[in-house]
Amino acid sequence: MKPPFAPSRDRSVTMHDHTRSDEFFWLRNREDPAVMEYLQQENAYADALLAASRGQREAIYREMVARIQETDSSVPVPRGGYAYYTRTEKGRQYEIICRRRRDDPDGPEEVLLDENELAHGHSYFHLGASMVSPDHRLLAYTVDHSGAETFQLFVMDIASRRIVDGPIGNVAGELEWENDSASLYYLELDDQMRPCAVRRHVLGDDAANDTEIHREPDPAFYVGVEASRSREFLFVTMESHTTTEVRLRRMGDINGTLFTVQERRADVEYHVAHRGNSFFILSNEDALNFRVFETPIADPRRENWEERIAHRPAVKLEQIDAFEHHLVITEREDGQKRIRILDLRSGESHHVAFEEPVYTVAVEWNPEFHTNRVHLGYSSLTTPRTVYDYNMDTRELTFRKREAVLGDFDPANYQSERIHATANDGTRIPITMVYRKDVPRDGTAPLLLYGYSAYGVCIEPYFAANRLSLLDRGVIFAVAHARGGGALGRAWHEKGKLLYKRNTFTDFIACAEYLVGRNYTSPGRMICYGGSAGGMLIGTVVNMKPELWRAAVLVVPFVDVLNTMLDETLPLTVIEFDEWGNPADKKYYEYIFSYSPYDNIDRKAYPAMLVLGGFHDRRVQYWEPAKWVARLRAKKTDDNALLLRTRMTEGHKGASGRYDYLRDVALEYAWMLEQWNQG
């Protein structure tokens, strides 16, 4: 079967003395029947080539399903007079949200929301938020049925299970209740999918008359809304990638004006938590890796901020959570995430101790303020997700639940490690990896190298039961923590964005070459993988070093970077200027042009590629992977497989149901195993 070829329709673009040809610009028009025909042809071609691995795909799917506890429940979390939890049932795609009386943990279950019922009849379903009112009588929730991340808001009476308000359309997934349980706050979306305004809705009123709490005119900022854990204050946050402004008012003071904690200043980020008579502020003002201040709620102006935790160049403070007597600080040092507890009565602090040398830990949902216990989620590359309760006074860590991995899984069969490659400029680049202990170290092992490295995000060393289907077939899984991510603090991000972005790509290549040099694998046995901004990374490195990879997988890849950043009508473009630069400025135009994957496709041999897009994706539009593949087909000189599969009912996040998600994973795994077997 011959691959489809998109017809070329020349369009020249000139800017800053550069003239570029974009012969596949026409693929952006989703209303053009020729566009739909091309996507369908590519899907048919991909399905035909993927048919050869259908048997292995089905086998992998069955073994992944066999590992999970299909009927299961989460650890109940107390809030008021109830304990809330979710559960799943065998054969059903989505969770069921439930609660029981706190004083009767074995008493009757109350089902609040069955996501399977909400998803019925829809090819896609995503629950954005679900929040019970302060009086525990009502449930507000948001749903997306397209994958475009545009939600509808509903309010349900829990006792009668009757919808008492909604739908309110064109909202973001986030919401917050007012303490009176008679009104709530939600976020309105603009045409660029940006949460642009906070509105207050009184139950029963016409949504057209909802009070506007704040509208953000700057297209580089998006808004958020939440109550403090104490439920004494409402926070409205305006945030870009580099700058924050927080305004607040007392909960219940529905006619009060918002007080600005600190006016926005370029490149100053801060976050606010409340406890007692104080606000605690996590800020990067004159502190690249952040520091913590305390200020009185009576007068929280900047001149009244008192430093409580000083800046440390080697330790990034990532998050603060305030409780009645404690401040919980999430830190990262040398790539390792840690939880630090500060006793606000004594001023003493300590870290929560775990035994494994490399792990990840996070503060879970902790809705109660008057407590000395914090719920923590823990995982490592060899330890399944585990939930603990930690007593912040006695320092006792109580095991609550570990995610079941059915079958013959034994963590003793696997080895995780952290090693370092050396970049071109001498910088040490961390690599975390996991593999079976019996994998040979002679360069013959297949290796999957994953990368993201953008927005300061750190890819955590977490356990994935699905990954066992690769590890048990002898595959080494590795993550390259290139600059642009957040593995080594804020400076690590700064040195991999804007005019330093090329560091991300050369770091990733250095990691790959190091793994080859240490005989973990060889170029004919290595596959690179990335999604979204990580897909841009993969698109760039296959342009730069195509001979280094056996194959590549690009999922919703941001590969048409320059054209997207030149179009301010697209969702998120203006907000993204802080990460990539504004190409209206010549220096950014030329720099982005130097690496933009779509603009740097050349006439040469490329590795085999599996490229996946989402037709309803509004973060990375479907045409980016489509244009990338069309130009590759026109220029590449090899006969290696090139597959484009556009998921026509999905968006940026892929399949929504848990079984459908596993089928997508099985497809990717089976294709990669086929490539390794051919190598």
Residue 239 backbone dihedrals phi, psi, to 5 degrees: -145, 135
Active-site residue, 214 included = no
Q: How far apart are the first and last CA of the chain?
A: 22
Q: Report DSSP letters for 481-537, one per residue.
A: --BTBSTT-HHHHHTTSGGGTHHHHHHHHHHHHHHHHTTS--GGGEEEEEETHHHHH
Q: How far apart are the C-alpha atoms of 130 and 158, rounded to whole Å? A: 12
DSSP secondary structure code for residue 648 in this structure: T
**CB within 8 A of 349, min separation 6: which ones?**
340, 341, 342, 343
Residue 448 backbone dihedrals phi, psi, to 5 degrees: -105, 115
What is the 3-state secondary structure of 543-596?
HHCHHHCCEEEEECCCCCHHHHHCCCCCCCHHHHHHHHCCCCCHHHHHHHHHHC
Active-site residue, 532 included = yes
Note whether 192 and 148 are within 8 A (CB): no
List the one residue out of 237, 233, 193, 191 whose CA is nearest residue 214.
237
Distance of CA 418 to the CA centre of its chain: 23
Q: How far apart are the C-alpha atoms of 671 and 679, rounded to whole Å? A: 13
Catalytic hit among 481, 493, 616, 652: 652
List the one residue out of 86, 145, 146 whose CA is nearest residue 154.
145
Angle at 633 between CA 632 and CA 636, to 5 degrees: 65
Note whether 595 and 655 are within 8 A (CB): no
Q: How far apart are the C-alpha atoms of 176 and 141, rounded to whole Å? A: 10
List the one residue out of 520, 526, 519 whose CA is nearest residue 547.
526
In the block, tokens 């790539």 appear at 335
Residue type for 290, please?
Answer: F
Active-site residue, 617 included = yes
Q: How far apart are the C-alpha atoms of 590 and 255, rounded to whole Å? A: 50
**CB within 8 A of 281, min separation 6: which ones?**
261, 270, 271, 272, 273, 292, 293, 294, 295, 305
Catalytic hit among 532, 578, 599, 616: 532
Residue 659 backbone dihedrals phi, psi, to 5 degrees: -75, -40
Q: How far apart are the C-alpha atoms of 492 and 359, rounded to whole Å? A: 20
Over its C-alpha atoms, the chain yields an Rg (Å, rounded) of 25
**CB within 8 A of 208, min separation 6: which ones?**
none
SS3 (DSSP) at 320: strand
Q: How far apart are the C-alpha atoms of 117 and 111, rounded to whole Å? A: 12
Angle at 200 between CA 196 and CA 206, to 5 degrees: 105
Q: How far apart are the C-alpha atoms of 389 and 670, rounded to whole Å? A: 39
Note whether 335 and 487 are within 8 A (CB): yes
Residues that are catalytic: 532, 617, 652
